[in-house]
A = this chain, B = another copy of it.
Amino acid sequence: VDEATPKHGYHHGDLRRALCVAGYELARHGGLHAVTLREATRRAGVTAAAAYRHFSGLDDLLLAVAHLGLGDLARSIERRQGLVAETEQVPQAVALLEAVGLGYIDFARAEPGAFETALSGLATMEHADDADSTGDSGRTPYQLLTDAIGRLVAIGALPPERAEPAAVLCWSTVHGFATLAVRGPIRTYPAATLDALADELVRGVVTGVLDQESSLDQNRRPSGSSSPRSAS
């Protein structure tokens, strides 16, 4: 992800790459909305039409930019996981799952524009097998999440049929916090407060997911479990 090194090989060298990087920079500073074919080509020192040699159109560039964001998100998670100390099997596996959530929140707070772009729904996160969308371990953010949960299943801390709902619940929780911390009402909180809240949130959801009693008996309470639809 280094800039303005045109390493001439052919005409431009690797214009596709340069456009991706320029687009990603735009995303970082102005969010999804700021990523534009014309501005990306301008940054790359090239005519707008040149982009069409490497992308089918704007959407194609946006997708590539989103993949770059997912890669950085994966690296942010990997960094947190790298800090997990070795200990007994279960607590370590728990810590690795918590690191997924904490790294996710780190990235959203450090790079709100890139986060917004990566998670805007352009790249369907599960199927993002693009090389750019993986971290140093070669895994996408989603794979890092499912791997951490798979590990808990493997050591018997989570029943296999709970793996998928667990992934959804963890991801929802962390994603919501990240969103609110970036452009929601808690964006003005001091960083230390957000750190503490993030820790608590992540610990809470992981604990909840592993707690059989609260997660297995879905019909615990008789009050309406179906949903009234259509608002106003």
Task: State the majority secondary structure of interface residues on A.
Answer: helix
Indicate whether A228 reaches chain B with its CB closer than 8 angstroms.
yes
Q: Which residue of B lies closest to A194 (CB)?
A: B227
**Given A85-B223, A185-B126, A171 and B180 contact (CB-CB distance below 8 Å):** yes
Contact: B199 with A225, CB < 8 Å?
A: yes
User: Inside 8 A of A119's CB, which chain B residues have their CB?
Assistant: 184
Q: Chain A: how many interface residues by the 8 Å CB criterion?
A: 70
Interface readout for A30-54 with B: 1 if CB under 8 Å, 0 if not? Answer: 0000000000000000000000000
Nearest chain B CB to A225's CB is how many angstroms away?
5
Chain A to chain B contacts (Cβ below 8 Å), 14 pairs: A106-B227, A106-B228, A106-B231, A109-B229, A110-B230, A111-B232, A172-B177, A172-B201, A173-B173, A175-B184, A195-B226, A200-B215, A204-B205, A204-B214
